[in-house]
Chain A
Amino acid sequence: MREVTFAEATLEAMREEMARDSRVFIMGEDIASQGGIFGQFKGLADQFGLERVRDTPISETAIVGAGIGAALGGLIPVIDMHFADFLGVAMDEVLNQMSKIRYMFGGQANLPLVLRAPDGVTRSGAAQHSQSLEAIFMHIPGTKIVAPSNAEDAKGLLKAAIRDPNPVIYFEHKDLFRRKGQVPDGEHITPIGKARVTREGDSLTVVSYSRMFTEVEAACQQLGDEVEGKVELIDLRTIVPMDVETILASVRKTHRLLIVHEAVKRGGVGAEISAVVAEKAVEYLDAPIVRIGAKPYPIPFSPPLEREIVPQVDEIISAIRGLLNARI
């Protein structure tokens, strides 16, 4: 094991995959000369050259569209969206092209393509630079979605995404890039579609992912003995395809469920998980499911407003306490 930042972990994944497979290349805005806004591409251009580390114009529509074409033409494109918010600029390419091509054409082609989308709240980015949009894309059949919470999975999931013969949107939380974590030595892949149980307990299942997972961990740490052996914590890691079995197995054991994400609660991943649990395991529940997510507002700029809209540790703590004491 070695300690590296989340950004370095993604960089290791890129390096290893680009070295392993010459079809892998990356394109995006401002990635070559300065190494990306969050340092997540540092040195890649020096190592692999500007043909395979391509700076593009500010043309997201063209970048994603060309990524699709390049994948059909035999390459494995990794595309940096700069900010997940700018997926909106390439929405047709994601919605009507990337997600449809394989199925609509009767499975004629593979579409190995990774969209890297830095998302979430950091440094008061305000309404157009802070969003968590996974639920929008979860609703579109035909694309996989992953969202690592730590350096180890950042590396493992990126490698898995690059090797996956299908389109994958890789949401990487901007606030996680600088954070350090342990990464295994040697080849390390995190399988897509597998959640991880990071803490075992018998009274409450908490499902989370991305940065909010680290907030849930912080909440559990603060609660100490109160949650020891009681809270079972699941890092979802992949949103599509979702590891429903792990969630159901846990809920059948704990009988209570809390879901926490930074994205807007309404119509969010938590709503989907709740529905699945209601369909498949409602008889096991001893308390209503609780969801924590952002309030349904654009992310405001001013720090006190941002804190109001985006879930905070305190809210998680009181939800955990409330559920541990709850009984229908």
Chain B
Amino acid sequence: MNKGTLLRWYRTMMRIRVFEETVNEKFLAGEIPGFVHLYVGQEAVATAICDLLNESDYITSTHRGHGHAIAKGADMKRMMAELYGRETGYCKGKGGSMHIADFRIGMLGANGVVGGGINIAVGAALAGKLLDNGRIAVSFFGDGASNRGTFHEGINMAAIWKLPVIFVCENNQWSSTTFYRNSTAVEDIAVRASAYGIPGLIADGNDVFDVYEKADEAVKRARKGGGPSLLEVKTYRVKGHFIGDPEKYRRREEIMEQLENNDPIKRFVQRVTDENLLSSEELTQVDQEVVEEVKNAVEFAQSSPFPDSSQAYEDLFVEDGVQ
């Protein structure tokens, strides 16, 4: 990996991390309404995979979608403004945390319904194939979502039609209060790929290098017309399911262990430092720039107006009008 790539990865991971930690703080301060699910600890996944995509490629996301949006190139100012319910937000305040989308960069939406995005990615890939525009699609979803019918139906259909789509299951081991082995009959979700005759890959989701390498295979296959792949990335949800989750279902030590020994950013820094790939000055500079950028995003959100109540009646149909 060249230095540019490494710095880009680091910057994306840090942008997600600092954004999320700031959202946590501002939510607890009562500035952000709604339900918020943080992507902390899973940064390497969105970072590596979106780095393999073009701006015109598609992704679909989940309730835990901030990281996917940032990695796909979304503007943090407009994201933050959306979380604050402001008119300058991506969805003009209509969506909030669970519903950020930026269609211009192929980010087809976070989703409040678990498994709701999977087949939207299948359809986007179908469009890419029929229009022959070279676009591929990636669907991000959790271990929990892999037990929904949408997952099974979507993979099968994408497989028979050889669609350029990659199903990325972020197995963070927990779906809300449920440990994945209590809701999922197999240890590796990737093995389900064999039921649909497509490749099932496994990556260490907290190692950006490994995610990149495995996803690269799947992306190449999709771009060559080889059809879909299922990529399971093994990661861990270090924060509560949502901000405010009392987390009575798991032990504190389990989380501490992950924070200490398996943090994707720490592991990246360790590796690039050990191998003398990046200097601490280079990393620090990125840190400073990212902190400044997130600070600006917050200021932008805070100083943006709430939408006027009349805006509630806009956007329902292409031609607006109260019925």
Contacts and interface: CB of A to CB of B under 8 A. Distances in A.
Contact of A58 (B95, B96, B148, B322): B148
Nearest to A88: B113
Interface of A: 29-30, 33-34, 55-62, 85-86, 88-89, 123-129, 266, 295-298, 300-305, 307-309
A282 to B, nearest CB: 26
Nearest to A56: B183
A300 B182 contact: no
Contact of B147 (A59, A85, A125): A59
B312 A86 contact: no
A-side binding surface: helix, strand, loop or mixed? loop
B99 A58 contact: no
Contact of B99 (A88, A126, A297, A303): A126
Interface string B284-323: 0000000000000000000000111111110010000011
Contacts of A127: 94-95, 99, 112
Interface string B137-161: 0000000110111000000000000
A304 B183 contact: no
Nearest to A310: B312
A296 B323 contact: yes
Contacts of A309: 312
A301 B249 CA distance: 29
B115 A125 contact: no
Contacts of A305: 85, 93-94, 307, 309, 311-312
B85 A124 contact: yes
Nearest to B182: A55
B66 interface: no
B270 interface: no
B35 interface: yes
Contacts of A295: 312-313, 322
Contact of A125 (B35, B184, B306): B35
B248 A34 contact: yes
Contact of A303 (B35, B85, B98, B322): B85
Given A58-B114, A61-B149, A123-B34, A301 B85 contact: yes
B86 interface: yes
Range, interface on chain B: 35 or more
Given A33-B177, A56-B183, A126 B34 contact: yes
Contact of A301 (B93, B113, B248, B309): B93
B96 A302 contact: yes
B112 A57 contact: no
A123 B33 contact: yes
Interface in B97-118: 98-99, 111-116
Interface in B43-90: 85-86
A307 B85 contact: no
- Which of A30, A125, A129, A301 is packed against the most chain B CB atoms within 10 Å? A301
B279 interface: no
Interface of B: 33-35, 85-86, 91, 93-96, 98-99, 111-116, 144-145, 147-149, 175-178, 182-184, 246, 248-249, 306-313, 316, 322-323
A58 B180 CA distance: 11
A264 B130 CA distance: 39
Contacts of B249: 33-34
B176 A86 contact: no
Contact of B112 (A30, A33, A128, A308): A128
A128 B96 CA distance: 11
Nearest to B249: A33
Contact of B183 (A58, A85, A302, A308): A58
B251 to A, nearest CB: 12
Nearest to B114: A58
Contact of A59 (B94, B99, B116, B149): B149
Contacts of B311: 305
A302 B148 contact: no
Contacts of B35: 123, 125, 129
- For A56, A123, A305, which residue has the most chain B Cβ atoms within 10 angstroms? A305
24 contacts: A30-B177, A33-B177, A58-B114, A58-B144, A58-B148, A60-B148, A61-B148, A89-B113, A123-B33, A123-B34, A124-B33, A124-B96, A126-B98, A126-B99, A126-B112, A127-B94, A128-B98, A128-B99, A128-B113, A129-B35, A298-B316, A303-B85, A304-B309, A305-B94
Nearest to A305: B312
Given A57-B147, A128-B112, A297 B177 contact: no
B98 A129 contact: yes
A304 B309 CA distance: 6
Contacts of A307: 309
Contacts of B308: 304
A128 B111 CA distance: 8
A138 B183 CA distance: 33
Contacts of B91: 301
A264 to B, nearest CB: 11
A31 to B, nearest CB: 9
A297 B308 CA distance: 16
Given A57-B178, A58-B144, A128-B116, 17 more contacts: A30-B177, A55-B177, A61-B149, A125-B34, A126-B99, A127-B112, A128-B112, A301-B91, A301-B93, A301-B94, A301-B99, A302-B86, A302-B94, A304-B306, A304-B307, A307-B309, A308-B312
